[in-house]
Amino acid sequence: MAENKEKNNKKKSLKDIVVNILLIIALLAILGTAVYYTIQKNNKQKENSVAYSQLLKDIDEEKLQKIELNEASQTALLSYKKDIEKDNKVPEDKKKNSTIPNTQAFMELVNQKIASGKTVEIEQKRKSIFASFMTGFVRFLPTLIMLGMAYLIFEMQGVGKKGKVYDPEVSNNDVKFDDVAGLDEEKNEMIEIIDFLKNPDKYKEMGAKVPHGVLFSGKPGTGKTLIAKAIAGEAKVPFISMSGSEFVELFAGLGASRVRKLFERAKKIAPCIIFIDEIDAIGARRANAIGADTENNQTLNQLLVEMDGFESEQSVIVIAATNRPEMLDDALLRPGRFDRTIVINLPDVKEREDILRIHAKNKKFAEDIDLKNIAENTAGFSGAELANILNEAAIIATSRKQKEISNQDVEDALAKVTVGLEKKNRRISDKDKRLTAYHEAGHAVVSKYLPTQDVVKEVSIIPRGMAGGYTMYRNNEDKYYISETEMREKLISLMGGRAAEKIALNEISTGASNDLEVAMEIARNMVTTYGMNDKIGPMSLNLKNEAYEKLQLLGTDMQNTIGLEIRKTLEQAYQDAQTILRMHRDKLDAVAEVLMKKEKINEEEFNEIFNNY
């Protein structure tokens, strides 16, 4: 029933959009037609137009046969004697027109000229109320059409953007904590809020106030939205969901208006939960500069006012999510607003296994599939990425006309998600193939001799995504800190491809461009953020935020020193990579030769090459 209701709402929204688009097209057609005929009419009138001063002169010279004066439009239709044809009349297409500034004064003037002996016939058409109305209406019609179009566009800005209300009475939101794998500490943190929504009177008697706002921060795909829905599901209260970007639109003041309507709606159906995803879209730190984004500021101010306006007996909890908490305005995070922040971290190995089991429920796997092994090989993956891997594995198995998902399907899905789609049919020249083989062999061989680096899992020269080849690593550990040694050895590993090209082919290519970008980012952070440089010292400049202002404060000498130290760090890594490869040139050549023959080698084959040399 709830699903049908949601489908009907979607169909209605789509129908409204289509109707509005058709109305706009119709109005544009009407406006275009009106403008076209108005231009045509004006052009014709210009061709047959007679200036008012010339008209008076022509009357004096008795060139006119008849003047038809239209009081409503303040114009005169002129029939000249030279244009008279049969029946002693002037054809309509040969009649001239003239604009009369004051019809009453013109009528009196013509009558005086007739009295003085001038021969001209004048016919006056009286102004009617209907004619006056129609004249004004026609003149105002284009403006009305434009106002109508603006209104429709304004309405379309709000179509489908009022937020969704999940009504527990019809089980529209059936997400529970059991559907959210891991996040045990986060769930425990939210139990008191769920209890408050279920039993608000208990807290009122004690005089306790539950936080009005809870901020979830964490990387994309970690389950921030899912756990917010689960809280509403556990408490059995409505769940109103909006994205931060939906508050800010084309028209000034619309964002603040939507905030007001959202909170008015929430108060009517309380107890409930308001969920604002990507709140940094409206809650970013306000700028002090003149000409700053006033629309965003108005929207943020309205949000702050609404959260301050909550009374203790109103059971409305606001949950917001962001992956950029450092961008939020300080006013949002003070007590009484989002005074509780919960960090949603990437899942550890146990949580990854639980997530995989949840997403594996409706899929058919071979008996030898080991979800624990998959979890161990996907350190650093979010819940959304894990779900995507299993879905891709199911798609691959279906395309191969298999009845079950095999280990190979999962491996291929993992490579597809992390590196990109394999392009076996791309034709590559022998020269490029050899260059790619040495480049990837360089990464793999260098990593083998770096104790802190991950184990080489697969090396391939088959293009995937934007890469001409790739080296995949197996990481069985969840790391929360990275040492200076690890970062320096990561730089050496990244330089392995470029170093191999130089040593084996005496040439460097554009293939190392992405490696250099990643290496540059690591080296910059080591020097400016993590205090891993002796010359700069234990300073954390964090140049990502307000980089220009911070660099200006440092002075030119310090800026030059930072650039020099970053360069020295990268050059040292490049030299170390070359040293390793020169010492183990035989293994570099062996791996490259096997790659040119087989195009892809796995972990066992890679280790076997090392054992034979």
By the 10 Å C-beta count (0-12 exposed, 13-18 middle, 19+ buried), 517 is classed as exposed
**Dihedral over Cα of 276, 278, 281, 286: its sign:** positive
Among 266, 252, 246, which residue's Cα sits nearest to residue 309?
Answer: 266
Confidence of residue 321 (pLDDT cuts 50, 70, 90): very high
Residue scoring higher pLDDT (429 or 211)? 429
Confidence of residue 305 (pLDDT cuts 50, 70, 90): confident
pTM summary value: 0.65
Q: Which of 138-152, 335-349, 396-410 has the highest mean pLDDT?
A: 396-410
Q: Which of 124-133, 139-148, 510-519, 576-585 has the lowest mean pLDDT?
A: 124-133
Give residues with Cβ within 8 angstroms of 465, minimum separation 6. Answer: 419, 420, 421
Give the mean pLDDT of 81-99: 79
Q: Please determine, for residue 501, whether its predicted confidence score (pLDDT) is greater than 90.
A: yes
In this predicted structure, what is the pLDDT of residue 564?
Answer: 93
In this predicted structure, what is the pLDDT of residue 541?
Answer: 75
Distance between CA atoms of 574 and 515, rounded to whole angstroms?
A: 12
Q: Please determine, for residue 245, whether its predicted confidence score (pLDDT) is greater than 90.
A: no
Distance between CA atoms of 408 and 416, rounded to whole angstroms?
A: 12
| Helices within 48-128 (DSSP H only) | 52-60, 103-115
Strands (E), 171-254: 213-217, 239-243
Q: Out of 71, 440, 489, 501, pick the active-site residue.
A: 440
Confidence of residue 294 (pLDDT cuts 50, 70, 90): low
Distance between CA atoms of 282 and 297, rounded to whole angstroms?
A: 8
Give the mean pLDDT of 29-35: 70
CA angle 263, 328, 320 (to 5 degrees): 40
Q: Which residues pair with 76 in a beta bridge?
A: 69, 98
**Dihedral over Cα of 583, 589, 594, 600: its sign:** positive
Give the mean pLDDT of 527-556: 74
Q: Tell me, yes or no, if 440 is annotated catalytic.
A: yes
pLDDT tens column, 563-601:
899 999 999 999 999 999 999 999 999 999 999 999 899
| Helices within 83-128 (DSSP H only) | 103-115
Give residues with Cβ within 8 angstroms of 82, minimum separation 6. Answer: 63
Residue with token string 């040119």: 596
**Alpha-carbon distances of 74 from 112, 209, 291, rounded to whole Å:** 20, 74, 48
Q: Could you tell me whether strands 239-243 and 272-277 are parallel, antiparallel, or unpaired per DSSP bridges?
A: parallel
Q: Please determine, for residue 161, whether its predicted confidence score (pLDDT) is greater than 60.
A: no
Q: Which residues pair with 64 in a beta bridge?
A: 80
CA angle 223, 229, 233 (to 5 degrees): 135
In this predicted structure, what is the pLDDT of residue 552?
Answer: 62
- Number of separate helices (H) and strands (E) present in the chain: 21, 13
Packing angle, helices 224-235 and 184-198, rounded to 10: 40
Q: Which of 138-147, 270-279, 406-415, 556-565 has the lowest mean pLDDT?
A: 138-147
Q: Which residues pair with 321 in a beta bridge?
A: 216
By the 10 Å C-beta count (0-12 exposed, 13-18 middle, 19+ buried), 126 is classed as exposed
Judged by DSSP in three states, 163 sits in coil
Confidence of residue 6 (pLDDT cuts 50, 70, 90): very low
pLDDT tens column, 10-31:
454 566 666 667 767 776 777 6
Distance between CA atoms of 432 and 436, rounded to whole angstroms?
A: 6
Distance between CA atoms of 475 and 490, rounded to whole angstroms?
A: 14
Are 86 and 92 contacting, i.e. CB atoms less than 8 angstroms apart?
A: no
Q: Which of 408-412, 425-429, 517-521, 529-533 has the lowest mean pLDDT?
A: 425-429
Are 437 and 419 contacting, i.e. CB atoms less than 8 angstroms apart?
A: no
Confidence of residue 545 (pLDDT cuts 50, 70, 90): low
In this predicted structure, what is the pLDDT of residue 438?
Answer: 95
Q: Could you tell me whether strands 272-277 and 316-322 are parallel, antiparallel, or unpaired per DSSP bridges?
A: parallel
Q: What is the 8-class DSSP label of residue 313?
A: T
Q: What is the 8-class DSSP label of residue 249?
A: -
**Alpha-carbon distances of 564 from 157, 376, 528, rounded to whole Å:** 51, 40, 12
Are 152 and 23 contacting, i.e. CB atoms less than 8 angstroms apart?
A: yes
Amino acid letter, residue 391 = N
Are 38 and 96 contacting, i.e. CB atoms less than 8 angstroms apart?
A: no
pLDDT tens column, 222-240:
888 888 888 888 888 888 8
Distance between CA atoms of 292 and 286, rounded to whole angstroms?
A: 8
Distance between CA atoms of 327 and 321, rounded to whole angstroms?
A: 12
Amino acid letter, residue 481 = Y
Other Cβ atoms closer than 10 A to 556: 9
Distance between CA atoms of 226 and 275, rounded to whole angstroms?
A: 11
Residue scoring higher pLDDT (176 or 518)? 518
Average pLDDT, the chain: 80
Give the mean pLDDT of 330-352: 85
Sheet holding 600-602, edge to edge: 470-474, 455-460, 600-602
